[in-house]
Structure 1
Amino acid sequence: MDLWREDADCEPQTPLEHELFGENRRLRRVCQALMERVESAGMGGAPYGAFEHAVLLAEQVRERTDTLHRTLEELGEANRRLEEARQEAEAANLSKTRFLAAVSHDLLQPLNAARLFTSALEDQPLPAASQVQVGHIGRSLHDVEALIGTLVDISRLDAGVLTPDVAVFPVAELLDVLTEEYRQVARARGLELHYVGSSALVTSDLALLARVVRNFLTNAMRYTESGRVLLGCRRRADGLEIQVGDTGPGIPEARREEIFLEFRRGSSASGEDRGLGLGLAIVERITGLLDHPLSLSSVPGRGAMFSVRIPYGASRDMPRTVSAQAPLEGEERLAGARVGVLDNDQAILDGMTAMLSGWGCEVVVAAREAEIAGRLEPDRLDVLMVDYHLDPEDDDGLALAERLEQEYPNLRIMLITANHDATIKQRCRERGYACLFKPVKPLRLRMSLIHLLKS
């Protein structure tokens, strides 16, 4: 409605009023033109409709903004809970690893003693039936040892707490022992084991590399029904390739990645002794940790070949405890060697006494540091075998060995432990000590003693 007409009775009286009324009319015309343009742009049927539409849009934006803020807050809370759960899982995993590391010594002590007693029995002239039973006991203990070792290894690898102890050593030091160990297994399964040795020096963690090659050999023996298993080396430009081949059923192309996954097992040749399916999973993790290339080739129906490539080592970097000797002959004896054993577990002392005495050694034992001088007489010993974990009031075996070496410079020392800490192995290497891990393998112990006595 035209306000000028509504106020028609209000005639402008003064020049100023005339001017204001004219300006009002002009502004109304401008406003009317603007409103018509807004309406023609599709903003509704009327100016008020356009205003309502704008208000509605603003409200929707506000509601969606509020929803977005709530969602972000909920997402932040969920992320916080996930982070707490991750930290709890990592703490639980580390706690599990520490627990396994702590109890592994206590688990392996009785197993170690049992292996020592069994080995001593195997060296005795027993009736045929008794020999068979002793063999069964030995194999069962070996299976328990493998199970515990596998669980501890997989736990330490998963937790990332396993530190390699890399050093230079002759590969024969590892492969000669494994050959003797698995030759007996092959004979029991009716297989031939062919070994092609090498004089090469390599750079690796001896214990972890042994785990890899031992798994190769175990699988080859387990899945080969007849024929032979080969353990050998090939010199490559970038390293020594350790190979384990067999004449078993082979591995189809489709399964060659699957077999390195956990709990994947094939059908063993005997239908028994299938293992846990963790061996090759551990192999892949260890070779990855050591940065040793792993390879597999196979022809289904004709066999498989697993190999790992190890960097070469230089003789100048080789510790003084290790020497590239020729393989030990089977007729070598330890007769007359005076060997001292220090361990706080009486069962271990009894087992060591039985086994070493069977090899012809003169054995003296002690359970406490205070008994060393009176019972062991270190100045008369050829070799002193010391357990790492002694009584709490005593030093650890390595610290004790270092003190004894200062007092008796000609004393040869062998540390025996269930602790695979790389620092312990490195200290032993630097000091020139032999180092074996529980449960002690009799053949490994025998060869280490012979090496020490020859040094």
Structure 2
Amino acid sequence: MPVTPPRPHDTERAQAVVRLVIAPLATGYMLWTYHEAMLTEQATWLLVSASSLFCVASLVLWLDIARRPGNRPRRRLFAVLIDYSCITVTLAFGGEAMLPVYAILLWVTVGYGLRYGSRYLLLATIAALGSLALTTSISAYWQAHPLLVVTLLLTTVVVPAYMNALLKRSRLSAEAERAANLAKSQFLAQASHDLRQPIHSISLFTACLRDGTLDAEQGRLVDSIDKSLHSVSRLFRSILDMYSLESGRVAPQVETLALHTLLQQLVQQNTEAARWAGVEVRLHCPPLQVRADPALLSTMLQNLLSNALKYAPGRPVLIGCRRREGGVSIELYDQGRGIAKRHLDSVFEEFYRVRQVRDNDVEGMGLGLAIVKRLGDLMGLEIRMRSEEGRGTLVAIDGLQPVQVPVVASPAVKREPLAPRMLDGLRVCLIEDDDNVRTATASLLQKWGCEVETYASIPHAARPFDLLITDFDLGTEASGADCIAYVRQLRGRDIPAVVLTGHDVGRVQAAVNDAVIPVLSKPVHPAELRSLLVALRLEQPAL
């Protein structure tokens, strides 16, 4: 994962702390040289006094940095002044006994370059040369050893010059890396959008076929297409999730959420995948509310459930919630073949897969659990795993913070079985600039009983409708947010809307700037879209 460079005030504060540590050590060295009769009493008191003043100035600097953090050039110039003044006094009046202090001078000079860049390295080098020149003009010892002076002057020039060359090369490498990362980000963002579109349209076309009249063989073929598409979609999402985590762009947006509702949606979205695997997913969760990022938590649970469906086919999977050690835990238990103990410490590593006999047909890249671990760390959650070969595996997400909010009981109405007929007569305005996606979406909506009017961009003149479904990215002319604003203004009311996107959902939600408008990430599962449309219609019976 990329390392975040230290902030300027952190660097200055660290430098101030170093001064506070070095000053007492230098004072101790001076007193030792006096004890060993290497310094006169007069020189010792002069150097100890200079070191004490340096200590006071360093403390003032540290307090000012703590009070007023940030890049303040005047404060840095003051730091340069006190550093080289104290070193000059020490070298000039300490004679031979203080020659080791030259190492501090060189260290301080190089340190300014490493901390603040080439300009400060040049300034520090000039200050160091000035310090050596002033020392030579004062010290009789230095005047008596001209070759020593020349050696130190050359060292003071050569070492910073070489360091400057390294800094320049490092800067060029960093710029090249930033450019490469930017190009990679742009490529992946565009590839993400472009790859989501065909996956999304194939998914919708497959749903259209499934809703048609098919014989047994045709049904099996559609199932095979759907399974392959589901696998591609999961792999694609895993790669993008891992890239987002590596780039450091994922930041938790914590909110209060109903845990049972989130888990119910997870089970519903995986109905087809569970059917293909021959797995019955059982859910036991009391009406709890917790604080978490719903999108990140859903991604974690999706990866855990996908693993259970892959590695425990034909066996039931249990998802349960319970209070544990003051928090709430979500536990997922399968009755698959289990994992050997020697693998348990490695399964959360990237690309690590537990390979067993007759295991070649199990798809995946070994990223699912690594993503779960990374997301858990971001939200301060613990991932717990227990497994026994031949009996199954338990994976738990611990540490969710419960919220004491009264939960309103949901009406005892099973909405999903009514979904196919609940959309009859719903007038939908569909805005999508991709021809295949537009055709597939319109066909599916019509099979559900909707009356659909399609557009490639802003519908400047459209018949009355009940609901707006729009892609977010509609080229250079407009965005989905523009379409929603224009249509609502045209109709004089807040028409319910749904946004579909192949881009980052968080960025699109911020652009739409309306918490009521749901944003779905492509490829959208048809069951998810249908459930959302039914829910919107039930919330607004006038539709």
TM-score, normalised relative to structure 2: 0.64
Counterpart position of 2:361 = 272
Counterpart position of 1:447 = 531
In structure 2, which of residues 250, 267, 272 is the aligned counterpart of residue 179 of structure 1?
267
Residues in 1 aligned to 2:363 and 2:436: alpha-carbon distance in whole angstroms: 32
2:442 maps to 1:353: yes
Contact residue 177 and residue 443 of structure 1 kept, 8 A: no
Counterpart position of 1:366 = 455
Secondary structure at the aligned position of 2:322 is classed as strand
Counterpart position of 2:132 = none
User: What is the identity percentage for the equivalent residue pairs of Structure 1 and Structure 2?
Assistant: 29
Higher RCO (CA 8 Å, separation ≥ 6 residues) = 1
* Residues 347 and 313 of structure 1, relative CA distance in 2, 3 Å threshold: farther
Residues in 2 aligned to 1:203 and 1:315: alpha-carbon distance in whole angstroms: 11
Query: Counterparts in 2 of 1:333-344, with a 5 A limit?
Result: 333=419, 334-336=422-424, 337-344=426-433
Query: Counterparts in 2 of 1:178-197, with a 5 A limit?
Result: 178-197=266-285
Shift of 1:169: 2.9
Residues in 1 aligned to 2:526 and 2:292: alpha-carbon distance in whole angstroms: 24
2:306 maps to 1:218: yes
TM-score, normalised relative to structure 1: 0.76
User: What RMSD in Å do the two structures reach over aligned CA positions?
Assistant: 3.3
Instruction: Give the aligned residue type for 1:306.
Output: V
Query: Counterparts in 2 of 1:401-416, with a 5 A limit?
Result: 401-406=484-489, 407-416=491-500
* Residues 65 and 224 of structure 1, relative CA distance in 2, 3 Å threshold: farther
Contact residue 265 and residue 274 of structure 1 kept, 8 A: no
Query: Counterparts in 2 of 1:238-277, with a 5 A limit?
Result: 238-267=326-355, 271-277=360-366
* Cα distance per residue 1:175-233 (max 9 Å; x no partner): 22221233433332233322224432333332222211110011111122553211222
Residues in 1 aligned to 2:439 and 2:409: alpha-carbon distance in whole angstroms: 32
Shift of 1:342: 1.1
2:414 maps to 1:331: no
Counterpart position of 1:228 = 316
* Cα distance per residue 1:92-112 (max 9 Å; x no partner): 223312321233222211221
Residues in 1 aligned to 2:400 and 2:511: alpha-carbon distance in whole angstroms: 23
Instruction: Give the aligned residue type for 1:95.
Output: A
* Residues 177 and 431 of structure 1, relative CA distance in 2, 3 Å threshold: closer
* Residues 257 and 303 of structure 1, relative CA distance in 2, 3 Å threshold: same
* Residues 435 and 66 of structure 1, relative CA distance in 2, 3 Å threshold: same
Counterpart position of 1:205 = 293
Residues in 1 aligned to 2:403 and 2:520: alpha-carbon distance in whole angstroms: 22
Contact residue 163 and residue 421 of structure 1 kept, 8 A: no
Secondary structure at the aligned position of 2:417 is classed as coil
* Residues 427 and 204 of structure 1, relative CA distance in 2, 3 Å threshold: farther
Shift of 1:417: 1.0
Residues in 1 aligned to 2:160 and 2:186: alpha-carbon distance in whole angstroms: 38
Residues in 2 aligned to 1:215 and 1:64: alpha-carbon distance in whole angstroms: 62
Contact residue 199 and residue 324 of structure 1 kept, 8 A: no
Contact residue 255 and residue 293 of structure 2 kept, 8 A: yes
Counterpart position of 2:477 = 393
Instruction: Give the aligned residue type for 1:432.
Output: V
Query: Which structure would you say has the larger Rg?
Result: 1
Secondary structure at the aligned position of 2:381 is classed as coil
Shift of 1:328: 4.4
Shift of 1:267: 3.0
Gaps of 5+ in 2: 1-144
Residues in 1 aligned to 2:533 and 2:323: alpha-carbon distance in whole angstroms: 30
Residues in 2 aligned to 1:352 and 1:230: alpha-carbon distance in whole angstroms: 34
* Cα distance per residue 1:112-131 (max 9 Å; x no partner): 11110011111212121111
Tell me how many residue pairs correspond in the alignment: 392
Gaps of 5+ in 1: 1-56
Shift of 1:281: 1.3
